[in-house]
Amino acid sequence: MKKVTISTLLKMKQQSERISVITAYDASFAKLFDEQGIDVMLIGDSLGMVLMGEDSTLPVTVEQMAYHTKSVKKGAQRAFVIADMPFMSYATKEQAYANAATLMAAGAEMVKMEGGSWLCDSIAGLVERGVPVCGHLGLTPQSVHKLGGFKVQGREQSAADDMLAQAQELEQAGIQMLVLECIPTELGQRISAALSIPVIGIGAGPGTDGQVLVMHDMLGISANYMPKFSKNYLAETGDIRKAVSQYIDEVRSGSFPSEQHSFN
């Protein structure tokens, strides 16, 4: 199968083909996901919670992200590979440049950063230097203490309007993809329609251009709890490969997420 690039994903948005994304952390699962036809693999700093047993993503380091990115890249022949920039690894432009370089050298084809307008200068600088960037708005897990916990964002009209404005500013700064986490369905659809880049939802309703799930949630093996926006595909299929294939099929058909996996 043909290698997925950012151009592939942009074309999918333009043709209203939904994009399937899953987190990956090692070569074996990356190979399995690749063989089933997943479009994008995200090495998420969620590894702090699902692999390390932490109660947040904050303890994850750049070195740990680079290690797992290198591992995933060895198993991912077709899928597009994105790596999270961990907490406080992009507090300044200089930090962003150095740490993004580390992750790109490890095999990432794009880096993901959480935050709004304050990131625009760093994003513009990275893009200018050849580093593709994915934004992340809504529930940003690295800001969990500031947000007061893992809560749905953008429910008030003013907060929704502000999130849309920030999404547009990030696109103008140069991001080529955006993740929206834990926001109302209507807002997810509104932002996706307003941007020309692919918008990937996780708890953002069915109106985005694609979906991402943490692999441990999708397989029902997360140590802590199952988020409302997730679905245990392994329980339905009894086989990991079939579970991944069904997830991809349901994202493409638009049957996942349903209303029960979304927020009003």
Tell whether 151 is in a known binding site: no
Nearest by Cα to 12 from 175, 200, 201: 200
The three-point CA angle 85-90-92 to 5° equals 170
In a domain, 243, yes or no: yes
In a domain, 264, yes or no: no
In a domain, 116, yes or no: yes
In a domain, 160, yes or no: yes
Q: Is residue 178 within 8 Å of 171, Cβ to Cβ?
A: yes
Tell whether 196 is in a known binding site: no
In a domain, 36, yes or no: yes
Which residue range forms the structural domain that includes residue 219? Answer: 6-257
Burial status of residue 116 (CB atoms within 10 A of its CB: 0-12, 13-18, 19 or more):
middle
Tell whether 112 is in a known binding site: yes
Task: Report pLDDT digits (tens) over 233-259.
Answer: 999 999 999 999 999 999 999 999 999
What does the pLDDT read at residue 224? 65
In a domain, 263, yes or no: no
What does the pLDDT read at residue 223? 65
Which two three-digit tokens encode residue 250?
A: 């349901």
154 vs 105: CA distance, rounded Å: 35
Q: What is the CATH number of the domain that holds 37?
A: 3.20.20.60
In a domain, 88, yes or no: yes
Nearest by Cα to 17 from 257, 254, 256: 254
Nearest by Cα to 24 from 74, 62, 58: 74
Tell whether 114 is in a known binding site: yes
**Hey, which residues are catalytic here?**
181
Task: Please state the domain count of the chain.
Answer: 1
In a domain, 30, yes or no: yes
Task: Report pLDDT digits (tens) over 154-198.
Answer: 999 999 999 999 999 999 999 999 999 999 999 999 999 999 999
